[in-house]
Amino acid sequence: MDSIFRPAQRYLADLLNRLRDVAGAVQDPSVADIIDTQQERVARHSFKVLVMGQFDTGKTTLMNALLGASVFPSYMGETTAVPCEIKYTDEQPFAVLYPSDGSPSFTVSIDMLSDRLVVPVGGKNPNRKAVLYWPLDLCQDGVEIVDSPGLDAAEHRDEILIEYLHNADAIVFVTRESGALGLGQMSFLKRHVFTQVHADSTFCVINWMTSDDSGRDRVMTSVRHRLATISEDGQPPRADRLFVVNAKRALDAQLTENAYDLEISGVPEFKDVLQNFLIRDRGSSKLRSSAHVLGDCMQKLKEDIEVQRSMYERKLTSLIDSYEAEKPRIRELEKLREKIVNDVERHIDGIASSATEEVHRFLQDLARQFPSWAASSQPVARFNPRASGDENDIFVQEVVESVWARYQEAELEWERMGYRTLLAQQLVELEKSIRSDVQDFMAGVYDVRRSIGGSDAPELDIQEAVSRVLTDVGDLQIRAGLDTSSLLVEPPGGGLVPNLVRLSPFAFIFVHPIVSTLAVPVANWVAGILERSDAGEKAKIKIGEALRETFEEGISAGVGEFRSQLTPALRELYSNLDDRLSSEVKTITSQVETVIRSMRAGTGEMSRNLAALNLSAQEIRLISESYRELVEEIDQMASN
């Protein structure tokens, strides 16, 4: 296998180098950046498997199940703050932490690692990444498996994830049975995973987190169909690329040495298939992904060349006349751009208001349940009405923690199923309201471009261009375009929704009133809410009422802070749309003015520039021929 892989690796690296020179000559920096990333990926001898998915899908539990030990932190809500690279060692396991401030890395014991990786309350984890050295067979021969922070978490963690995604050779995408592979996850896979990593190198794992297995076949069928709709060839994934597992059952089974539970968890089957892939297919997978990107870059550069060449082939007077004739339409496009962005701006306050009102209503409804939740709690400690307040600390804290757990569960479920759906629906309506104008704008841009460039300018798909603009604009939180939402609604045409729904309202309710309460010694307030004659059941209710009052006091301030963060995020949508549409017009004017200056400078410079474009086009044709040969070699590698 290595005798085939190494020559193919060198061949692909050479093609990337040649196409990088073309990107420089054509002056397309975006394509040049993409090629730079692929050059780094191809040159690496390691093979990176990125495990990713939304937080609270059991992703880290799956990692622990693969390790056979509870190494990584795993509990309800967002947990993992720091990516951890797993590398092979046949010696005693250990971990190395790399601080974010650039200070020297340091070694920690395995039992200390979990605490160093978690999302801290009200702060930022001081570490940039961790490396775990572990005797995991999957990681032999240069394989690195990366446990990443959950999608749809904090912006700075998402930026780290994007960096890892750009360097991944294979993906394990973890979802859960509830809302498996929702719209946002599908969009993310299509736009950012399948464009970076070939579908055959992407494993989708449904982590079944409930005790009811009756819906497995239905969920599997649904996910298979959804993956087919976003695959390049419209085909469902291979049977050995989609799995249902119960990661917690697998981990518990290994810790208790229960072979039967481990086998039915589905994790051993997934691990065997992944191991076989890493042994047989990783070489072809590594090259296929970069070759796929190479093909896309060639197509983009061809379009760049054709547009510029069509301008150079016109007479100077004709080009100037066409440009002057189109200036009124360019001004009309500017007016249409202003109308579109103004329409968006008018929608922003309404969206922010409705989202804020819904969050406020939900929190108030939730607070009213605190007394009943407290009453139904089952503390192990007994309440002693004759004891002093501090002697009942354990009882009170157990009741408070029970209410807190119920709150977290309700919050996460509503954030996923209620708030996100509400905000997504608002954004869908916004997209509907501007889509027609954006379509008219893009059609006008391409009409102007063809008029100036002449009839030989390439045809472009207007609908695809509109979707691309809206998609780019929707990527407001991270410029790399991370899409992390899990939505129940299907926005027509897609585009604006994905990242605007990733802002959590609950990030601002906390430092949480309940957390604050827990941080105060219980003895300081228990005496004020309990009477010595109260029995345990009455005490629980009074604790719940006190928590409700404390919580309600913090709702308005927390919701106000959420509004203050949501509104700028929505206004960034306005700014992004303005920038994106402006760039379409500026590209036309800058291209034609560059060509006009060149032609005015004389036939010598014009001929040199046109000859350079022709040479670039010829080089792309030669690269394309070599590219086809390379793809055949990669396919042969995969079949051996």
Tokens of 360: 């406020």
Contacts (Cβ under 8 Å, ≥6 apart) of 618: none
Q: Rounded to the nearest 10 degrees, what angle do helices 2-26 and 603-639 cross at?
A: 160
Across 38-42, 344-348, 458-462, least confident range:
458-462
State pTM to two decimals.
0.54
**Long-range contacts (CB closer than 8 Å, 24 or more residues apart) made by 506-512:** 506/411, 506/415, 507/154, 507/562, 507/565, 508/558, 508/559, 508/561, 508/562, 508/565, 509/363, 509/554, 509/555, 509/558, 509/559, 509/562, 510/121, 510/122, 510/558, 511/121, 511/122, 512/554
373-418 pLDDT, tens per residue?
Answer: 988 988 877 777 666 555 677 787 788 878 877 876 777 677 666 6
DSSP labels for 40-65? HHHH--SEEEEEE-BTTSSHHHHHHH
Whole-number pLDDT of residue 640: 61
Whole-number pLDDT of residue 470: 64
The structure tokens 């040049």 sit at 32
> Would the pLDDT of 299 be above 80?
yes
Whole-number pLDDT of residue 249: 94
> Would the pLDDT of 477 be above 50?
no
What are the strands, taking DSSP E only, across 141-262? Answer: 143-147, 170-176, 202-207, 242-245
| Beta carbons of 496 and 473 less than 8 angstroms apart | yes
DSSP-based three-state secondary structure for 97: strand
Sequence letter at residue 269: E
Assigned superfamily of 47-280: P-loop containing nucleotide triphosphate hydrolases (3.40.50.300)
Q: How many C-beta atoms surround the C-beta of residue 437 within 10 A? A: 15
616 CB-side CA count, 13 A:
27
413-465 pLDDT, tens per residue?
Answer: 776 666 666 776 777 777 778 888 888 888 888 888 788 876 555 565 666 66
- Between CA 151 and CA 605 the distance in angstroms is 51
Contacts (Cβ under 8 Å, ≥6 apart) of 322: 314, 451, 452, 454
pLDDT-derived band at 19, boundaries 50, 70, 90: very high
- Output 492 or 102, whichever has higher pLDDT: 102
pLDDT-derived band at 348, boundaries 50, 70, 90: confident
Report the length, in residues, of the chain: 640
> Would the pLDDT of 221 be above 50?
yes
What is the edge-to-edge ordering of all strands in the sheet holding 202-207? 106-108, 94-99, 127-134, 84-88, 143-147, 47-52, 170-176, 202-207, 242-245
